[in-house]
Amino acid sequence: MLKVTTIFYSIQGEATNTGIPSIFIRLYGCNLECSFCDDLLHTDKYTSYTYEEILKEIKQYPGMDIIITGGEPSIYDLNEFIGLLQSHGYTVSIESNGYKFENIEKADWITYSPKDWNNIHTTGFNELKCIVNINSNIQPLLDLDIKQPIFIQAENYVHTPNMTNITHCIEVVKHYPKFRLSVQTHKFLGVD
């Protein structure tokens, strides 16, 4: 069983895989309590689904790319579930704050969004995504020496862009080309 807050079909709006039509499975619960969290998206209500019930739900959509997000997906051991989805032909991506990479290691793609920039893992993921506002101290990110792409993403409002932070992030990326910009395009498009 998994605690699911919502399952929906949309477009990946962030980082490397921007633009891929994707089925989002948002899981309930997190190990952290960030001040900027869109927490109603994952702390409100949940439904307990069996793996088979989730499969039935997602098969109504034509997309074959799945993004498991939260909350923090790695508070659950998801490897068996990920394997089941893959055996049905799905590609599985996970968004994680890095709590327990071993619980999601079967995923095809892992986006790591660390919340403590002074303790960033260097392995176990495919891309790093850091949420930045005008007051962020990005020095720990500048000091990072990793092979994976490092995305800078503005801290936006829950459903709309924060242009002050986005303008700042554009300048950061132009000044430090080791970074890439992640735009949250879905918030410009007005989709979930």
Tokens of 14: 């962030």
The beta-strand segments (E) located in the chain are 2-11, 21-27, 47-49, 65-69, 91-96, 109-112, 127-132, 150-154, 179-182
Among 1, 8, 21, 32, binds ligand SF4 (CB under 6 A): 32
Please state the φ and ψ torsions of residue 79, each to the nearest 5 degrees.
Answer: -60, -40
Whether the ω angle into residue 71 lies within 30 degrees of 0, i.e. cis, is yes
Q: With binding defined as CB under 6 A, does residue 72 bind ligand SF4?
A: yes
Q: With binding defined as CB under 6 A, does residue 34 bind ligand SF4?
A: yes
Query: Are 146 and 127 spatial neighbours (Cβ–Cβ below 8 Å)?
Result: no
Shortest distance in whole angstroms from residue 34 CB to ligand SF4: 3
Q: With binding defined as CB under 6 A, does residue 73 bind ligand SF4?
A: no
Q: Please choose, out of 30-38, 48-56, 57-65, 163-171, the segment that lies near ligand SF4 by the rule CB under 6 A.
A: 30-38
Q: Please choose, out of 65-73, 141-149, 167-175, 178-186, the segment that lies near ligand SF4 by the rule CB under 6 A.
A: 65-73
Q: Label residue 9 exposed, middle or buried (CB < 10 Å: 0-12, 13-18, 19+).
A: middle
Nearest-angstrom CA–CA distance, 74 and 89: 22
Q: Please choose, out of 18-26, 27-35, 53-61, 156-164, the segment that lies near ligand SF4 by the rule CB under 6 A.
A: 27-35
Q: Which amino acid is at 45?
A: K
Q: How many residues bind ligand SF4 (CB under 6 A)?
A: 12
Q: With binding defined as CB under 6 A, does residue 115 bind ligand SF4?
A: yes
Among 2, 15, 23, 30, binds ligand SF4 (CB under 6 A): 30
- Residue 34 or residue 134: which is nearer to ligand SF4 going by CB? 34
Query: Are 114 and 146 spatial neighbours (Cβ–Cβ below 8 Å)?
Result: no
Reduce the DSSP state of residue 86 to 3 states and report it.
helix
Q: Please choose, out of 15-23, 69-77, 79-87, 165-173, the segment that lies near ligand SF4 by the rule CB under 6 A.
A: 69-77
Q: Which amino acid is at 47?
A: T
Query: Footprint of ligand SF4 on this chain (CB under 6 A)?
Result: 30, 32-34, 37, 39, 42, 70-72, 97, 115
